């Protein structure tokens, strides 16, 4: 009788796969992109606070007018042609990542605060983790229905801290006491 295959995390080849996305699509904007330029920088950390060196971070967001570059967005035809809407980077030597983007606009017909969808994949993570990044200086966070579903004592883990004009910090912790809130998707 054959034995069951033992559990293994995604193997050491994961970092090799990330070579091609080292620079990735970290810049979602061009000189013609409409909206307020921002950068989102952070670190991907394990439960012990150690950097995860072979992580893949992806973001997806609306343009400055709240339109997604997706055919199911009813306003897709009017999306900013100079805005990518999607970015992907691998983490650096200290688990770092940076995206150059714009502050997303309000999505028409939804009572949601401006936010960025964030996806995390790394060695040892068998299923992609999804979360949202909200901006700490956004008044609409108080009434966002998705953020309201998160226990009050954990909401701060979804808020990107403003460092300076146009710069935000968003660290992602994949497990442990300070684990980032992840959503079932």
Provide the CATH number for the domain around residue 40.
2.60.130.10
Confirm whether 8 is domain-assigned: no
Confirm whether 1 is domain-assigned: no
Confirm whether 2 is domain-assigned: no
Confirm whether 3 is domain-assigned: no
pLDDT in tens, 79-125: 899 999 999 999 988 999 999 999 999 987 778 999 999 999 987 77
Domain that holds residue 62: 13-173
Confirm whether 64 is domain-assigned: yes
Q: How many domains does the chain have?
A: 1
Which residue carries 């996806």 as its tokens? 119
Q: What is the mean pLDDT of residues 9-32?
A: 65
Confirm whether 178 is domain-assigned: no
pLDDT in tens, 42-84: 999 999 999 998 899 999 999 999 999 888 877 778 889 999 9
Confirm whether 113 is domain-assigned: yes
Question: How much is the pTM?
Answer: 0.86
């Amino acid at each position: 009788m054959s034995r069951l295959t033992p559990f293994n995390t995604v193997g050491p080849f994961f970092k090799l796969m990330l070579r091609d996305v080292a620079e990735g699509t970290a810049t979602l904007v061009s000189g013609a992109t409409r909206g307020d330029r921002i950068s989102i920088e952070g670190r991907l950390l394990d439960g012990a606070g150690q950097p995860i060196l072979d992580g893949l971070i992806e973001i997806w967001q609306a343009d400055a007018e709240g339109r997604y570059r997706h055919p199911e967005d009813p306003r897709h035809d009017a999306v900013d042609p100079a805005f990518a809407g999607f970015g992907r980077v691998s983490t650096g030597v200290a688990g770092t990542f940076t995206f150059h983007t714009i502050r997303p606009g309000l999505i028409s017909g939804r009572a949601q605060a401006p936010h960025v969808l964030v996806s995390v994949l790394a060695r040892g993570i068998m299923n992609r983790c999804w979360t949202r990044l909200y901006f700490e200086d956004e008044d609409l966070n108080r009434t966002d229905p998705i953020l309201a579903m998160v226990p009050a004592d954990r909401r701060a883990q979804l808020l990107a801290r403003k460092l300076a004009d146009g710069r935000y910090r968003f660290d992602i912790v994949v497990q442990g006491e300070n684990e980032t809130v992840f959503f079932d998707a």
